Each structure stands twice: as structure tokens, then as C-alpha cells.
Amino acid sequence: MSLFSAVEMAPRDPILGLNEAFNADTRSTKVNLGVGVYYNEEGRIPLLRAVAEAEKARLAAHAPRGYLPIEGLSSYDSAVQKLLFGEGSSLLAEGRVVTTQSLGGTGALKTGADFLKRLLPTAVVAISNPSWENHRALFESAGFPVQNYRYYDADSQGVDRAGMLADLKALPARSIIVLHACCHNPTGVDLSLDDWKAVLDVLREREHVPFLDIAYQGFGDGIDQDAEAVRLFAESGLQFFVSSSFSKSFSLYGERVGALSIVTDSPEETSRVLSQVKRVIRTNYSNPPTHGATIVGNVLNSPELRSLWEAELTEMRERIRGMRMAMVQGLAEMGASRDFSFVARQRGMFSYSGLSPEQVERLRTEFGIYAIGTGRICVAALNRNNLGPVLNAIKAVI
């Protein structure tokens, strides 16, 4: 009998399944709004000029490709810290942050989860309802039970603040709370600064461990504005985790560039924590790849490339915002039977559009417009060419 005869087929990844169906669709008018990727006005994944410049310089330098240290490239790690905590951060000056390069934001979450499992083996992990679809599976595969806390309020198209605070209070003390620092995926609905302060009070009171996931820094309101929650937590005196991703902000999806940062209480704690995180990394993939982090580090550390990147990031952010406004305005002008103004209040690449599973199904079968069954659409996949057909289709199905 084959070793694998009892292996069951795993469920298909819903988003990848949607992509396969999209690729097989022969209609020339098809539009894929199911993706989690930023497309430019031409419908392509951009190669940022700042990235291209840094790559050219790296190629010209004919640098050898030795192993990186387990924690990654130190010039990259420290540039990430400044991006998250700010240039003048007292936490950084006090040596209270451990940062290790990771395989994208996903790798940062998994390294953090594996380290936390050793630290708090019986803890519960809580994620927002809804959340990025990999959060639950990732923490479950690290051995944690995962629960939801209330987050999105469909009636107000905002945050269920009272529900969220009540659920965080009701969790066992010292639970691990995963929070989207900005540009919530999938809803696009973020906490206000006031909400963050209320959440922080509950976390402190219940001794919960915050795990801030920041995968879209710069896609909401700006680099520093989007780090508002991270900076608030930095001032709180709490210990917490941050996973960051440069997949979107540098358009480097396949290079797997991210970082795990852990805020400790002292430099002495920092070195002990770093030593343990290094063990987690060493036993998983030994050390991280060189290319993506070298490029991101060189861009962040070079004044010229940095300002070029910031301009390109601003362009991406403003293009998305422009598409949000055009969608709201377009649907209103077409006399759509529903008010879509909430789309303009959402942040980042995604919008919970309020479309039902049946309406999403009709968009696909009748119009070749692909969205997630929950109604999540990627606003960053809209452009001036596909906007009209998409809005006509939405008007037709609602």
C-alpha cells in the first residue's frame, strides 16, 4: 500500500481557485478584483523605479552571495525599525527592539507565532472577524487555538467598537491579540486613534500580548500616519510584536521581504529574546535570502532612492484613493440603488463592498468580474479602463 494512500485532498485556497477560474475565462472584458495585489493604471504589477535603480547598482557591484546572519541584513533590520518606530524613537535609542528579517509578512507572523508558542504554550490567539484568511491557519499551525473578536459592523460599515472591546475583555488573561495596524484586510475599515487608545487600555488591563500586523504601511494615509498604532503602542510601555511586509509597498511580492520586530523591556531582554528568535529561524530555514532585503535596505538608506520610493508610494496610494472616489461618484451618478460613500472612507487596497455572495456570483457569471464571495474587492485592481464596465455590472446586480 502506498505511504500516501490515506492522504486527503486539502481544501483549495479560495483566492487561488478564483485566479484559476479567472485565467480560464476567455471573455476579453474580464476583470480580476479578487487579487491582493496593486496594479498600476495599465493593469500591471509595477516595478518601482527606486527598486530598479537599487537592483542596477547591486548588479554592477558583483557582490558575492554568502549567507546572511540568521537575523538578516543588519542595515535592513535597522532601516525597518526606523520606518516602524520613527527616526527619533526612544525605544530604539534604549535598545528595546529586536528586529529580524523574514520571508515576507507571513514569515514574520510564523516566526513570531513559533516563538510565542514556546513562551506562552497555553495561550489563546484572537483575530478580528473577519481577518486576512491566513491568520487563523497560521496560528493554528503553530499550535494555538484561534478565536475571533468582533470587528466589522456591517450595518454602519465601520468598527463594532463596543463588541471588540467586550470580546477582548472576555478573553483569558495573556491572550495573543492580532491587530491590523492599518489598511485592514479584508474590510478596509480601520480603528481611529481614539479606538486604538481604548483597545490599548483593555490589552494592558488583561495583560494581553499585542501582535500588530502591518502589511500596507504607506497605502493608507502615509508612512508615518499609517504607523500611528505602532507608535502609540511604543509609548505604552507594553511588550509587543510587529510583523511588517514590503510586498506591497515596494511591489516586491515574490522576493519575500518582511520583518519581525519585538519590543522588550530592556537591552538585556533584547539580547535574550533575539537569541531565542534566532533559534526559531535557524531550525526553520537557517537564514533569509539576500536579494529583496538588500534592495529594500539600500532604498531606505539612500536619501535619493528613498525620496524616489516615497514619491512612488504616494502615487500608488493616491491612485487607489482616486479609484475609490471615482467608484463612489460613478455609482451615485448612475443612480445606483445603494449608497457607496463608505468606500471612500475605507483605507488600503481592499473594500468590503457590501455585495452579497449571490451578487458576487452574478458579477462573475454574467459580467466576467471576479470578486471574493464575502464581497471583498481589490480597489487597487481598478483603473480608468475597467472602471466603467465594473460599475455598470455592480449597478446591474444590486
Q: Which residues bind ligand PMP (CB under 6 A)?
A: 36, 104-106, 132, 180, 185, 213, 215, 245, 247, 258
Output the smallest distance, CB 163 to ligand PMP, in A.
Answer: 20
Tell me if residue 117 is catalytic.
no
Q: Closest distance between ligand PMP and the C-beta of residue 252, in Å?
A: 9
Closer by beta carbon to ligand PMP, 180 or else 347: 180
Please answer whether residues 30 and 370 qualify as being in contact, where contact means their C-beta atoms are separated by less than 8 angstroms: yes
Looking at the DSSP bridge assignments, the partners of residue 259 are 101, 244
Using DSSP's 3-state secondary structure scheme, residue 151 falls into: coil
Shortest gap between Cβ of 386 and ligand PMP (angstroms)? Answer: 21
Burial of 301 (0-12, 13-18, 19+ CB in 10 A): middle
Pick between residue 157 and residue 244 the one whose CB is nearest to ligand PMP.
Answer: 244
As to burial, measured by CB atoms within 10 angstroms (0-12 exposed, 13-18 middle, 19+ buried), residue 390 is buried
Of 300 and 394, CB closest to ligand PMP: 300
In the block, cell 496593486 appears at 38
Q: CB of 390: closest distance to ligand PMP in angstroms?
A: 22
Q: What is the largest CA-CA distance in the chain?
A: 65
Closer residue to ligand PMP (CB): 182 or 355: 182
Least Cα distance to 351 among 327, 333, 377, 372 occurs for: 377
What is the smallest separation between the CB atom of 30 and ligand PMP, expressed in angstroms? 22
Q: Exactly one of 160, 167, 190, 213 is catalytic; which is it?
A: 213
CA distance 175 to 211: 10
Nearest to ligand PMP by Cβ — which residue?
Answer: 104
Pick 171 or 215: Cβ nearer ligand PMP: 215
Partners of 366 in the beta sheet? none
Q: Which segments of 86-192 does DSSP mark as H helices, in order?
A: 90-93, 104-119, 133-141, 161-170
Min. distance of Cβ 176 from ligand PMP in angstroms? Answer: 15
User: Which of 132, 167, 226, 278 does the annotation list as catalytic?
Assistant: 132
What DSSP string runs through 219-232?
A: SSS-HHHHTHHHHH
How many CB atoms are closer than 10 A to CB 286?
Answer: 10
User: Beta 97-103 vs 257-263: how paired, if at all?
Assistant: antiparallel
Helix-then-strand count for the chain, H and E: 16, 13
Query: Residue 239 is which amino acid?
Result: Q
Neighbouring C-beta atoms of residue 307, cutoff 10 Å: 12
**248 counts as catalytic:** yes
Give whichever of 138 and 326 is closer to ligand PMP, judged by the CB atom.
138
Comparing CB distances to ligand PMP, the nearer of 158 and 292 is 292
Active site residue 213: yes
For 143, the enclosing helix (H) or strand (E) is none
Please identify which of the residues 110, 248, 278, 309 carries the catalytic annotation.
248
Rounded to a whole number of angstroms, the minimum distance from the CB of residue 37 to ligand PMP is 8
Which residues are known catalytic residues? 132, 213, 248
